[in-house]
Amino acid sequence: MNPAAVEQLRAGNPRAVARALSAVERGGQDARAVIAAIFRHTGRAHIIGVTGAPGTGKSTLVNEIAKHYRRRGVRVGIVAIDPTSPFSGGAILGDRLRMQDLSGDSGVFIRSMATRGSLGGLAAATSDAVKVLDAAGFASVLVETVGAGQNEVEIAQNAHTTIVVEAPGMGDDIQAIKAGIMEIADLLIVNKADRDEVSATVAALEMNLNLKPKAENDWRPPVLKTIATTGEGVADAVEWIGKHRAYLEANCLLQARERTRFRAELEMVVQRELMARLLRGVNGTKIETLIEQIAARELDIYTAAETLIG
């Protein structure tokens, strides 16, 4: 990436930002060139993850949260992720549909991403995409995960503040104490709070939080109610995002979280790179032969892997 392009990106030029996002999505050399050029300009944005089951109102909520930040003059970047079809490799990216209030505002940049085979609720390039938006001067970066089930918890590692969105009537109090997605919430939002059963859902979530003995200085996630379609409750949610940020800063947790994230990213990149280098040195027929041997039960998978690594 040439210095002029980096300058354009840092100035928030939408075309430069869009191109850089495409490059990190392509991965490989293209991604590496962009990240190497911009990395030292990152680290300023507050990264906010929004996750939850499909249809709970994540996109609409992101739209409303972004509007709040815009009223305060904060520039907002949004990465919205939807799943790639395991069969065709195609995807329908429909999150923008709920974010039309933000169009025509040059202080907002929305990018839709497909998971392209990655599990965990994010796309492989999500953390790099966030870096691009960070370097481009978007002070708040909202990351909307795919409609998540119980175990798509990757977002927690990529965000400073993670919001888990629920809708009323999504399950009983045992659902609320299960491991996984409920554990990663810094804020719990019960959206569609104009529906029946909202108080039961709030009560179940509160009960779960109360089951955990509270250590001093622990962050206790607030359970908030919103109606994203009208904007009700969103101001309160934005307030709590700010409180969480202040809590992280006061307890030096921003740095700690960042280090955890960088460790995971480093491991991932090393893994990916080693794998790529290894496979470059192996011809395809060797792998096919091994698979045949495995299928014939002549070789087990561990031994086959050993012969590949050498």
Partner 1 sequence: MADRPIRVLVAKPGLDGHDRGAKVVARALRDAGMEVIYTGIRQTPEMIAEAALQEDVDVVGLSILSGAHRDLFPRIVEQLKQKQLEDVLLVCGGIIPDDDIPVVKRMGFAGVFGPGTSTQDIAVFIREQVARKRGAAVA
Q: What are phi and psi of 88, to 5 degrees?
A: -100, -20
| Residues facing 310 on adjacent strands | none
Of residues 15 and 214, the one with the C-beta less far from partner 1: 15
Yes or no: say if 142 and 67 are a contact pair by the CB < 8 Å rule.
no
R_g (Cα) of the chain, nearest Å: 21
- Per CB under 8 A, does 255 bind partner 1? no
With binding defined as CB under 8 A, does residue 93 bind partner 1? yes
What residues from 56 to 85 belong to the interface with partner 1 (CB under 8 A)?
84-85
Residue number with CB closer to partner 1 (103 or 217): 103
* 209 lies in the binding site for partner 1 (CB under 8 A): no
Name the residue with tokens 């994540």.
Answer: 58
Neighbour-count burial of 10, counting CB atoms closer than 10 A to its CB (0-12 exposed, 13-18 middle, 19+ buried): middle
Closest contact distance (angstroms) between CB of 33 and partner 1 is 11
Minimal distance, residue 144 CB to partner 1, in Å: 14
Among 6, 37, 74, 91, binds partner 1 (CB under 8 A): 91
Could you say which residues in the range 8-37 bind partner 1, by CB under 8 A?
14-15, 17-19, 21-22, 25-30
Min dist. Cβ of residue 127 to partner 1 (A):
18
Give the 3-state secondary structure of residue 170.
coil
Are residues 160 and 257 in contact, defined by beta-carbon separation less than 8 angstroms?
yes
Contacts of 282 (CB under 8 A, 6+ apart): 308
Contact pick of 11, 54, 55, 100 for partner 1 (by CB under 8 A): 100
Give the integer Cα–Cα distance in Å for 40 and 47. 17
Closest residue by Cα to residue 35 from 18, 21, 16: 21
Residues binding partner 1: number (CB under 8 A)? 34
Residue 7 and residue 102 in contact, taking contact as beta carbons nearer than 8 Å: no
User: Shortest distance, CB of residue 236 to partner 1, whole angstroms?
Assistant: 29
Q: What residue ranges bind partner 1 (CB under 8 A)?
A: 14-15, 17-19, 21-22, 25-30, 84-85, 87-94, 96-97, 100, 103-104, 109-112, 114, 116
